[in-house]
Every structure is written in structure tokens, then in C-alpha cells.
Chains A and B, each alone.
Chain A
Amino acid sequence: MTRNKPNIWKYSLSAVKGIYDAYAVSMINFLRKPVTEEYPEYKRPLPERSRGRIILTRDPDGDERCVACYLCSAVCPTSCISMESAEREEDGRRFAIWFRINFARCIYCGQCEEACPTLAIQLTPDYEFCQYEVLDFVYEKEDLLVDHGGRHPDYNFYRHAGVTEKGDKGAHPDEEEPVNLKSNMP
């Protein structure tokens, strides 16, 4: 039985073509514009939902959204969130007396944001807050609190739930209009 020998000329030709193609492709790339973005001069606009520095937002009425329910602190895999809850004198609404995030431990997983029932805690695209001192990474409530609604500017938790829920039947934002039985005939 004779071994099936490869055709040496075909073999050589394909080798030469392979080498030629490699040179041609690299020369095409040589003539192209580099795709590099030069970071400190050009900062790529990050997507709205990218996860960076954490903020505490306010509802449209200007109240703090955070009700100090400890859910973010409980879900945090690195236990970098801590707070103490209290109740407001006038209406008994809960809030955090102090709220602390240690960004040296935070891994920006976003689970606190997912756990938050009032959309208070949110991650922002800002990621440039390096420090030389590790203690400078400990952010207190006044560092975290902002005066806007973050990603959900119109949401107000107490219109959907909680002690201040008021209004007639069908006036609740999550509720549909009451059905008129007279006109609802088949």
C-alpha cells in the first residue's frame, strides 16, 4: 500500500500564500487608524447602568428615599454597608441616622441596588475616586446623599406603599380604573 504523499508544489504554494496573507493583513492593519482610546484625555461615556460609585437618592418631594431597612447591608457580599435606623418624630417615617459604605471593600456587584425596595441606593457610572489613604474610602451619609432621584427621578415609594398611602378607590398609581359594571357587558 502506498502512502498518500502530499503534492509538494501544492504544499509549497499554500505555504507561500499563507505567509503572504499574514504580511498583507498586518500591513492593512498598519495603515488603519489605531483603535486605542487614550484614557485621561478621552473618557469614554459609560452606559447609564454601569456600576461605579454608590449614591443615596431622594424622591421627587425631596425626602430621603432610604428607609433604613438593612436589606442592602444584609445582601452585601463584602459587608461594606452599615447603618443605624430611626423613626422621624412627626410621622414615624423610618430613616438612617448614619449610613456608611466602605468603598475599599465594595466590589461594585450592585446587589444592594437590587435589594433596595425604595430605589434609594443606586450605583453610578462614576469610577474615578481613587485615594491614597484607605480611610478616605469610608463614605458617610453626607458623602453618599445626593439631591436628585438618580436613575428613577419620578419614583416615590410612599405613593405605592407605606403609612402615607392615601386617596380613593382607583387613585393609587398601581391600580387600574374601577370597572363600570353597566358598560362591561359581553
Chain B
Amino acid sequence: MWFLGFVILLIKLAAVLGALVLLAVYLVWIERRLLAKFETRLGPNRAGWHGALQPFADGVKILLKEDLIPEGADRFIFMMAPAVVATSALLLFVVVPFGEGFTLWGRRVPMLFTDLNVGLLYVVAISTVAVYGVVLAGWSSNSLYSLLGGIRGAAQMISYELSLGLSLAPVVMMAGSFSLVDIVDAQAAYPFILVQPVGFLIFLVSTMAEAHRLPFDIPEAENELMGGYHTEYSGMRFGLFFVGEYVNMLVLGSLAAVFFLGGWRGPLLPGVVWFVLKVLIVPFLLIWSRAALPRPRYDQLMAFGWKCLIPVALVNIIATGGLMLLFG
């Protein structure tokens, strides 16, 4: 019977990978339409129904572009760096429970790939690996803009990783487990956002920095660095960075759903639908922020991370612990 389990796993992998990448590709279109709405424009609405075929048009265009490798670039690292970004984003999804699970032919099929008992640590660890993609891309391009972008990316993502992890500590304390399944189960009564609003805010801001989205897109700041770490990339390698960034947005959205919004739990609708709805909240907030906020200066960004977010996250942990001692 091991064979059946293997087949089910493969089917699940294919379905989730396909859905994730498709959703990420469509997120590009959703973002352009939403951003246009925020700026009282229309956005891409020509290809297909309301421009719904725009992602495929972009994909065809990007596939047909020449794959340039600049002179003096470290070819192997240059070619591998986009894969690191995309893969680390996709790997994060392995531990995320995205549904209730069902019984098929007498077998229990859980709606997740693996229930690691250190799932949260795995998430924090893997999301840090994405920094390697940024840094290596910036370094191997043999270009000043790319190098500056890579350095900024490293500094920013490492410092915001800290507040990301700290903002999740109260969640672990309340759920009593590092397993994402247990964390979702612990939110059966109420989602953690009701008792951890500060933690959610810190998580959200760190998420923006993690996904290097505006206002925290210092590593790729178009106005000063042209494209930052992916200045020298073209064709599908650039596309891989792009897709990786949007997959990252979705994965961070799913993490926010799991840690703060109660995962797939919700009334009336099936679990997967609730999960997708909750996942899309964070990308919407990120797009809204992109429309609303200007990019801070580099030192302001670091100062905000180290002098504001991390102390607040620490105070949040202590306050949560104290309240749990008093009432729990």
C-alpha cells in the first residue's frame, strides 16, 4: 500500500505546486489591476476578460527574451541564484496546512505535506535561505547596482528576519507547539489576531521586508538601483525572480493565515476556500501599502527594524508571558 500513498503524495505535490505558481502568476495581474485602482487607473485590461490573459502574454514575452549573462559574471552562481529564490519560497509551503483533510479509499489524506514538529523553526530557517538568492545574484552579476542591491538585501532581510521570528514567539507560547497543525488547532476557538494584534502588525511589517515589497523594496529600489540585485537578469531568469517574489508573497500570506488568522478554520465554507481567502489578505495589504507609502531611506529602514520593531516584539513576548502566567 506504500505505492498508493506515494501516488497520492505526487498528486498533491503537483496540484499544490500548480495552484501556487498559477496563483502567484495571477497575483501579478491582480496586483497590477489593484494598484491601478488605487491610483484611479484601469491597469491591464486588454488581453482576455478584463486582461485575465495578461500573465500568459507576459510569460510568452519573457520566455522569448534573450537570456543574457553579463561579461565577467560568475556564470554558475549567476544562473543558479534565481532558482534559490524561487525554491526557497516554494519549500516554505511544505509545512503549511491548507485544509481539513479527507478520507480517500479508507486512507486519511491530510491537506498538508508534512507535519514537522518544528514547523515554525523550519519556516523561519527556510525564509532566511532566500537571502542567499538575493546576495548571490547581486554578487555574481559583476555590476555595482546589483552588488549594492545584494548588500542591502542581505542587511535588510537578516534584520527583519529577527523581528519576524520574535513576533511569532507569542504564537508558539499560546499554542504550546512549534507544529503548524497544532497552531491551527489551537485557534479553534478564536484566531490569534484577536489576542495578538501587535504581533500581527510586527509580522506584517516584517513580511513586507521579507518579500522585499514596497515600501521596503530597498534591495531593488528602481529609482536608485535600476533593478537592484536583478538588474542584470533577463528572460526567464528574471521571470523566476519575479515568480519567486510573488510565491513568497503568497507563502507569507499563508503563514499569516496559519499563525494569526486561524488557518483553514471558518464557518460555512470548506476549509480550503477559507484558507485561500485568508492567504489573499496579506497580498492585498502589501499592494495597498505599495500604493500608500513611499520608500524610506536605507538607514531609516534599519533604524525602524532594530530600534522599533524588535523592542516592541520583545515587550510583546514579555507581556504575553506575563498575562499567560496571570490568567492561564
Chain A residues close to B by CB (< 8 Å): 19, 22-23, 25-27, 29-30, 32-36, 38
Tell whether, in the assembled complex, residue B38 and residue A26 are in contact, meaning their CB atoms are under 8 Å apart.
Answer: yes
Distance A37 CA – B30 CA, assembled complex (angstroms): 21
Tell whether, in the assembled complex, residue A29 and residue B293 are in contact, meaning their CB atoms are under 8 Å apart.
Answer: no
B315 at interface (Cβ–Cβ under 8 A)?
Answer: no
Contact check: which of B40, B288, B293 meets A34 at CB < 8 Å? B40
Chain B residues close to A by CB (< 8 Å): 34, 36-42, 288-289, 291-293
| Given A19-B293, A22-B293; A30-B38 close (CB under 8 Å) | yes
Tell whether, in the assembled complex, residue A33 and residue B40 are in contact, meaning their CB atoms are under 8 Å apart.
Answer: yes
Contacts of B40 in A (CB 8 A): 29, 32-36
B205 to chain A, nearest CB (A): 11
Interface CB pairs A-B, < 8 A, 15:
A23-B288, A23-B289, A23-B292, A25-B292, A26-B38, A26-B288, A26-B291, A26-B292, A30-B34, A32-B40, A34-B36, A34-B40, A34-B41, A34-B42, A35-B40
Contact check: which of A19, A25, A26, A36 meets B41 at CB < 8 Å? A36
Tell whether, in the assembled complex, residue A36 and residue B37 are in contact, meaning their CB atoms are under 8 Å apart.
Answer: no
Contacts of A34 in B (CB 8 A): 36-37, 40-42
Contacts of A35 in B (CB 8 A): 40-41
B128 to chain A, nearest CB (A): 27
A15 to chain B, nearest CB (A): 10
Contacts of B36 in A (CB 8 A): 34
Q: Is the interface of A mostly helix, strand, loop or mixed?
A: helix
Contacts of A22 in B (CB 8 A): 292-293
Tell whether, in the assembled complex, residue A29 and residue B38 are in contact, meaning their CB atoms are under 8 Å apart.
Answer: yes
Contacts of A19 in B (CB 8 A): 292-293
Q: A26-B38, A34-B40, A38-B42 are in contact. List 9 more A-B contacts (CB 8 A).
A: A19-B292, A23-B288, A23-B289, A26-B292, A27-B38, A29-B39, A30-B37, A32-B40, A35-B40
Nearest opposing residue in chain B for A31, CB measure: B37
Nearest opposing residue in chain A for B294, CB measure: A22
Contacts of B37 in A (CB 8 A): 29-30, 34
A68 to chain B, nearest CB (A): 47
Indicate the member of A29, A30, A36 with the most B CB atoms within 10 Å: A30
Contact check: which of A25, A29, A36 meets B42 at CB < 8 Å? A36
Contacts of A38 in B (CB 8 A): 42
Contact check: which of B42, B288, B293 meets A27 at CB < 8 Å? B288
Distance A118 CA – B231 CA, assembled complex (angstroms): 58
Contacts of A29 in B (CB 8 A): 37-40, 291
Nearest opposing residue in chain B for A36, CB measure: B42
A79 to chain B, nearest CB (A): 39
Distance A30 CA – B38 CA, assembled complex (angstroms): 4
A30 to chain B, nearest CB (A): 5
Contacts of B293 in A (CB 8 A): 19, 22
Distance A26 CA – B289 CA, assembled complex (angstroms): 9
Contacts of A27 in B (CB 8 A): 38, 288
Distance A34 CA – B33 CA, assembled complex (angstroms): 11
Distance A38 CA – B41 CA, assembled complex (angstroms): 10
A103 to chain B, nearest CB (A): 28
Distance A164 CA – B288 CA, assembled complex (angstroms): 72
B185 to chain A, nearest CB (A): 33
Distance A136 CA – B79 CA, assembled complex (angstroms): 47
Contacts of B42 in A (CB 8 A): 34, 36, 38
Nearest opposing residue in chain A for B39, CB measure: A29
Nearest opposing residue in chain B for A25, CB measure: B292
Distance A38 CA – B43 CA, assembled complex (angstroms): 11
B142 to chain A, nearest CB (A): 38
Distance A32 CA – B288 CA, assembled complex (angstroms): 15
B249 to chain A, nearest CB (A): 18
Nearest opposing residue in chain B for A35, CB measure: B40
